[in-house]
Structure 1
Amino acid sequence: MNKPVILVVEDDRPISKLITTTLETQGYKYLEASTGEMTIMEAVSRQPDLMILDLGLPDMDGVEIIRKVRSWSNLPIIVVSARSEDRDKIEALDAGADDYLTKPFSVEELLARLRVSLRRIQFDRDKLQKDASSFNNGNLRIDYAAGVVYLGGEEIHLTPSEYKLLCLLAKNVGKVLTHNYILHEIWGSHPYDVPALRVFMATLRKKIESGSSQKLIQTHIGIGYRMLQVSEDV
């Protein structure tokens, strides 16, 4: 893919300068915004490939920006915020953010999170060019048409709930999904709760990671889960 354009949304000038200088040294192109109004305008008119977003802007809360952008775009959004409480992270992720990094942060971690999101962009683009009836990630393969899952070429048995969970994670590979989002998508109003979800996720992980060195599902304690994108030769 061409070098991505990254929209940096930050009203603290020293932090904005740190982020943009880091991006520049890595060869990334970037745009800047310091208010919610500027952010929406840039996102609509310039169509960046990814957004790095501070939540505490002077004219608009960052969560509101996420909701506005999500009403018309799947633009990947990495939140960089001083808000460190789990409820703040969950609110941002539920609104549609792809990742959440707490200040103060290291530039190495920011670049790592950036690479994950950019790989997801490329992964999504590649999927559009492939047969949409299947999903491949490392030695995991889901045959959507047949409703069958393979690990290293061997078929594995999943319960209906485990299969739904796996498909939901696969269709959002690289993105953190909150407990509430997963519960709503899989069971709707069914009275399953977070402890029950943890049990289902534990059994799913055991089946798809058992006997393999590849780690497919990452736990974000108190927040949710993410399917990791792994190399094809794992």
Structure 2
Amino acid sequence: MARAFEDKRSAHQKIAAGLRRSITRGDLAPGAQLPPTPALMEEHGVAGTTVQKALTMLKDEGLLVGQPGKGVFVKRSTQQAISPGAYMPPVAAGEPYRWISEAEKRSQRGSSKLLEVGVVTPPYEVAKALGLSENGQALLRKQVLFLDEEPAELTRSYYPLELAEGTAMMEQRKIRGGTPTLLNELGYPPRGLVDEVSSEIPTEDEVVALELPKDMPVMLTFRIVYSDGERPIEVSLLVKAAHKYRMRYRQPIA
């Protein structure tokens, strides 16, 4: 028999959670007006200040907007689906990074800001995935990806030094077409990937980079990209705001 369990969150957090789910799953569409405060008070059996706290949370997350004299409306659309497979193939010579071209297909503006490039001792799981020895080093390229000027993803990508040394990957500058294109030119085309997706409490670095509201979890993707012979050529930690994005995978069933 299942044991009894109680949701110990505050009343305004519970109300915000219900409204948030209705917004991210499309039950409350962009532009929809929320019921007035008295109606929400009656529905949830709470005081007006509790309702206002819940609405403030969702305004801070960019999901709601208040219009003086009119009410509170849904601002943001449902969670945007990101399909990893669309970003992996190398691009042809002269074409832009796929983050940019894929954004254009959705009538969005994609951009990126390179934060750090350097040789580091990577985290344990990254070193293990790359097959590095104890205290082995890798190249780190860290950047923030933007959609319509808003931070969408914090990316930390690690590469084997034997592949990166002597290439543009080591330089503090963007790479035309992205690293998949450069690795392909070097004879290491991406052939497959493994993703592990988890929900995490963000670090301070992630909160600042993604401009996250208080107490908002993130979606972390631990990705290993393989080339020919199952050789790992890139391991990345990709962090997105959990309330804004979802991952979409399409996979044939044998």
Sort the TM-score into its range (normalised by shorter chain): under 0.3
TM-score with structure 2 setting the length: 0.24
TM-score normalised to the size of structure 1?
A: 0.25
Larger helix proportion of the pair: 1
